[in-house]
Structures are given as structure tokens and as C-alpha cells.
Amino acid sequence: MTCTNCAKTISHFLEKEKAQNIQVDFITGEASFYLDEKISFDKIRTGINSLGYKAREKNSRIHSEHDSIHDFAKQLKIRFFIALIFTLPLFSTMIFHLPFNFTGTWVSYFHIFHNQWSQLLLCLPVYFIGAIQFGKSAWHSLKEKIPNMDVLIITGSSAAFIYSVLAMFWGGDLYFETSASIITLVLLGNLLEKTAVKKTTHAIEQLSKLQPNIAKRIVTDANGNEKIEETGFEKIAENDILVLHSGDAVPVDGVIEEGTAVFDESMITGESIPVSKKNGNKVYAGTLVSDGNLKYKATGNADNSMLSKIIELVKSAQQSKPEIQAIGDKISSIFVPVVIGISFCSLITMFIYHSFFNEQMVAVAIKLSVMSAIAVLVISCPCAMGLATPTALIVGIGRAARNGILIKGGKTLEKFANIKTIVFDKTGTLTNGEFRIRNIKMYQNNDTDMNTLIYNIEKHSSHVIAKSLAKNFHSEKVLSFKTITEQKGIGMLAVDENNREYKIGSKEIVIENIECPHDIYVVEDGKILAGIDMEDELKPDAVTIVQWFKSKGIQPVLLSGDKKEKCIAVANRCGIEKVFYEKLPDEKLSIIEKLTSEGFTAMVGDGINDAPALSKATIGVSLSNATDIAIHSADIVLLHGKLNTLVTAFQLSRKTLQTIKQNLFWAFFYNVVAIPVAFVGLLQPIIGAAAMALSDVVVIGNSLRLRYK
């Protein structure tokens, strides 16, 4: 595909074939869609091929699009060099018309290229390459009533070619070098563009390389003996037992069954500190065993691993469109027919000018007006507008992914860059979420084993306080309960075999009045067994992060279900003036809804207990590890849970949006200036073709700067 209208042509074809959920990405050369079972994919592939494109089925979610980009770039390179070989001799006809005195016997060898038949024979292979490269696509885009950039290229080169052929018989200047140069320069531009595009998708390529090709699977032979076999990662199925040794990369997600090891997860989470894991811990595809040996059970195949999901999420995000792209899309959709109209106007206007006002001969007037019209066609560049947004998005979101930040799409990035308010949860967001027991007070003298009771109930909750309680009150004893349920924002409820009801949670579970309120209560059948006081430390960078956002004119807000005094203490230390405390999940939703109505609002939480509030905010940001619930509940996921990456995500969002605006400005500015200059005949078509090719490279080069900003 050579421009955004190519993608529209394919989309239009797929719509006619009743495909659903169609997404065609011009940058990566990928299309995704759903087909009814009655429709054959071979029919779709044949149809796309008939439009002048080469379609093939993608075999795995893990494999990137770089193979197809590489193949297309290789094909372009071959065609460009063939065209260049035949075009360079044609340039000699231009050189010897320049006002320089060329001497030497070598000059005589070039006179053969001045022969009109020699020029025709040199131009024909180049024109044939152009017809293959641009003609077929142009013709089918016209049939689909969505003319693309190839229409301009093939029309311009054909006009110069046909004019020259006619001039061979009626007499006059030949412009075979113009026809050949247009095609060769556009091929060069396309080659540079595809090479640059490959760099913009570098993040996806690096993520895809994390997937090891070989897995070590334990199998049982005919004698019942276990042995290790090496097999392709794509052959691994759920519940297969795999072996990992020091230096191995994990092929698929799974759970450790035997052994311990230290893992480098930096490539997935961005966390540089190695993680030690043992029995029962999860391992993720693409991570590396730094030290140790173990066996683990696969929990799925490569296509549903966390690595695969992250790759798909990043690719999907890169393909999504922000609102600002609508401007470029609207102009691109009408650009080609408008340019053809301007070119025709140039032809008529310049012919009249040269015939009547400049008093040129009719033949000369025709020649000059045709060259002006061709220059308008080849200098116009709809591609720059089509590339302006997606290239910046791909680089920006790709760089974020390399830093352990998943940004779900262009709209997310655009809105996050323009937030007016940022709402922080307290526990696990501004504080480290690792609570310690400061005090425990017993209210009943009975034989209840408090450690065992608390551990066996709290271990079923994912809340950070529950996890801390389970850690502090760890017990090897097992208690049996008929039911255990979690009441969001309140606590845990359990009923044992004797129908005794136990509750562990905040003051909402307490019926009787208590003189000294506690953070957590343990209640049996309405009677308080114990009160627990806990402490939670502020994260080291919490104050700095909050103050940084304030310096950018963004209002910080604290929203928590915790006690008033604790919330106010944290808010005062961080410099947060607006505080909401002791709020239940439904109350949090109402507050977020009100703040969002006043302007773009980001909500920062753990992605688990704050999922409803995250989804209600303009932008939900999850400080969480790479879990399914975190990935699906927020618009932005900070994989290693560090608060300072929130600033990185915001800066990348703003810089990417700024780059998109710069690209769009250049695309508009270039066309607004270049087309009028070509219209009045001040540019040769060859110069126009070179300028058009370079305009794309300027846009892509500007986007690539995001990799280093």
C-alpha cells in the first residue's frame, strides 16, 4: 500500500464482501476482519490480490508484520535499481543541454542516448515497472471510487511518456527522462518510506523477538520413563510440563511446579530488578531465567500468553486513530480528485498564458502547459497527511511499551495529554500498599485462633490490605468454610460449617459502638472479636510526582475509602488540596463522573479494586503488574507499578501529540506552497517528484525523533 486511500480501497472491498470489524493499517500493511463461515478466505485473498495488492494469511499472533514489510521493501529495492539503471542514461540528455562545455572522447559515447529511439527503448522498461507498481493499484482504486496517490503518479508519468511518443512523429522536445525520473524517484521515495516505517515499528519487532522458538517439554516414552524433548513453541499446549534452565527464555505462560529460579522480567515489565520465584508462582513468556532450574505447567499456548496479549494490545493501540487524525483523513479522501482538477486547470491556464500573453508558438505553449500540469500531479503528496498521525503514534506508543507502559490507542494518548485533573487512590498508589500491624486489641476471651481465622479468610481477597493481613497472620492450619465472599469497599464475609458468620473489614461491619475506632475489625455473629490498627508508608516519589503534575497546571485529587484522618495526612504530605475520604465504590463513581464533566480526568489506581472508577474516568491508569484484569480495566497500564512512570507516560503523550501536530502542519504547508508553484510552471516535474518523495521522509523522520526525546 502506498497511501491511506489504498487502505480505504481494501476496506471498501471487504465491506462489499460482508466482512465485519474491519481494520486496515496502511503503515504496517495489515488487515484484520471477521468473516461469516459461508465466506471463503481464499475468495477474499483473491479479491484483494485482484485490486493490485498481495495478500497472505498471518499464521501467528506472535509473529510481527516485519516479514511482509521486509519482502515488500526487497521487491521495491529490486524495481528501483532496475529503473535507476535505465533512467541514468536518460539524464545524460539533460546534462548535455546545460550551459557547460563538456569535452573529451568519453562524451561521444553519450550521444547515442540523444537518439529518440534509444530514449524510447530506455524509458519503456521503467514505464513498464511503473505500470506494475502503480498502474494496477491506480486502476482498481478508480473502480472502487477511492482514487489513491498511484493515480497521480501513473497519470503524470503517462502524460510525459505519451507526449514524448507523439513528439517523435510531429516533432518537438522529448520528455522520456521526465517520465522515467518520476517513476524512479517515487520508487526511491517509497523505498525510503518503507525503510523508515520499519524503524517506527521497532518496538513490536523487539517484543516479538522475545518469543523463543524452542521449548523443552517433558514426555513419557513407551517404557514409562520421562525424558526431555525439544519442540517448537507453537506446539506447546495447555497443561504440558516444561523445563527451564539458567539462560532459557520462557516459551509460554505457566505455573511453577518444582524448583526455584531468578527471572529477568525487564523486557515485559520494564522492572530491572530480578525476581525470585518458587512453587505456585506464575512465569510469563518472553522472560529470562537468570539463575536456577525448574519445572512448570503451561497454562495455555503461545497465542494466549501475556507476551502475545501485550503485542496485540500495542499493535491495536498503534492502529487506533485519535480525533486529530480526522482532519488529515477528510483531506486525504478528496485530495486526489482535487489535485487532478487543479492539474487540469493548470493545463488550460498555462496554455492560454503562453499562447496569448507570452506569445509563444502553439507547440511550445502545449509543451509548457503539459509540463506544468504534470508537475502539479507529481509534486502533490497525500501520503504526508496519511503518515502524519500513524507514524507518530506507532513510535510514541512503541517507546512507551519498551518502558513498561501500555497506552491503549491514539484517543487515549490524545486525551491523557489534555487532562485537567488527576485523581489518585491512596492505598497502593500514593502509599506502598505494604501494611504492617501496629496494634491488635482482643475484645473477647475465647478459644478462637485469630491468626488462623484471619489468614484463612483474607487469603481469598485481592485487596492490598487483605494481602497484608494474610502475610502478617500467616498460618499452616486450614479452616473449612461453606462460603467466603468479598464485599467491595467493606470487607470479607465467611460462614463456617456450624453456620457461624465471620466478618473482617472496616467499621461498616460493626453494629455496636466502639470507643477506640480501629482500621480493621474481626466480627463473629455480630460480636467484635478483635480490632486491628495498621500503618502504610508513603511511596518515596509520591510527593515529587504530585508536585510535578501541579506544576503543569493539573489539579491533583485524593479519592479513597480509607479513614478521614489517614487520607488528610497523606494529602497534606503530598500537597493535595482536594480530598475525598471514606468513599464506597459507588460513591467513587459519582465523584469521578462529576470531575469528568468538568474536564478530562485521569484516575490512577491498582486496576483491581478500582476497576469501576478507572472505567468511568476519561483515562484510567493502572499501577499494577501484568495481570489480565489490570490490562483490561484501564486505558493505560504501568506494568511494573512504579509511580514515576506515570510522568513518563504523560510526557510521551504530550510529545507524541505535539509531533502529530508538527507533521500535519508540514503536510499542509508543503502542499499549500508546492502546488501553486507547480501550477504556474516554476517547477520541473522531476523536481516535483523528488520533492514529493522527500516530503514523506520528512514526516517519518520527525516521528522517529520520538524514539530519542
Catalytic residue positions?
425
Q: How far is the C-alpha of 528 from the C-alpha of 522, rounded, in Å?
A: 6
* CB within 8 Å of 75: residues ≥ 6 apart: none
Q: How far is the C-alpha of 245 from the C-alpha of 374, rounded, in Å?
A: 65
What DSSP string describes 517-555? --SEEEEETTEEEEEEEEE-PBPTTHHHHHHHHHHTT-E
Q: How far is the C-alpha of 220 from the C-alpha of 679, rounded, in Å?
A: 77
Q: How far is the C-alpha of 395 from the C-alpha of 199, rounded, in Å?
A: 8
Grid coordinates belonging to 540: 518515596
Tell me, letter by letter, the H, E, C secondary structure of 587-610: HHHHHHHHHHHHCCEEEEECCCCC
Alpha helices, DSSP H only, in 433-551? 450-458, 464-472, 542-551
Grid coordinates belonging to 510: 460493626
Query: Among 195, 138, 180, which Cα is nearest to 6's?
Result: 138
Burial of 459 (0-12, 13-18, 19+ CB in 10 A): middle
Q: How far is the CA of 507 from the CAs of 257, 371, 466, 498, in angstroms?
A: 40, 84, 15, 25
Q: How far is the C-alpha of 94 from the C-alpha of 337, rounded, in Å?
A: 32
Please state, as a whole number, how many other Cβ atoms lie within 10 Å of the Cβ of residue 332: 23
Instruction: Calculate ∠ Cα 402-210-406, nearest 5°.
Output: 30
Instruction: Calculate ∠ Cα 60-65-69, nearest 5°.
Output: 145
Residue written as grid cell 495489515: 30
Torsions phi, psi for 277 (to 5 deg): -135, 150
Strand 241-244 to strand 254-264: parallel, antiparallel, or no bridges (unpaired)? unpaired
- Widest CA span in the chain: 116
At how many degrees (to 10) do helices 176-200 and 362-379 cross? 10
Residue written as grid cell 529503473: 83
Strand 436-442 to strand 527-535: parallel, antiparallel, or no bridges (unpaired)? antiparallel
Grid coordinates belonging to 51: 485490486
Residue 239 Rama label (left phi>0; alpha psi -120 to 50; beta): left
Task: Report yes or no: 612 and 589 within 8 Å, Cβ to Cβ.
Answer: yes
Query: Among 484, 394, 350, which Cα is nearest to 197's?
Result: 394
Q: How far is the C-alpha of 640 from the C-alpha of 264, rounded, in Å?
A: 13
Grid coordinates belonging to 396: 510514541
Q: How far is the CA of 350 from the CAs of 126, 364, 367, 375, 680, in angstroms?
A: 29, 11, 10, 12, 7
Q: How far is the C-alpha of 635 from the C-alpha of 633, rounded, in Å?
A: 7
Query: Among 131, 118, 97, 109, which Cα is nearest to 168's?
Result: 118
Please state, as a whole number, how many other Cβ atoms lie within 10 Å of the Cβ of residue 364: 15
Alpha helices, DSSP H only, in 270-381? 306-319, 325-352, 362-379
Grid coordinates belonging to 681: 510552471
Grid coordinates belonging to 37: 463461515
Query: Among 597, 157, 594, 624, which Cα is nearest to 373's?
Result: 157
Containing H/E element for 226?
strand 226-232
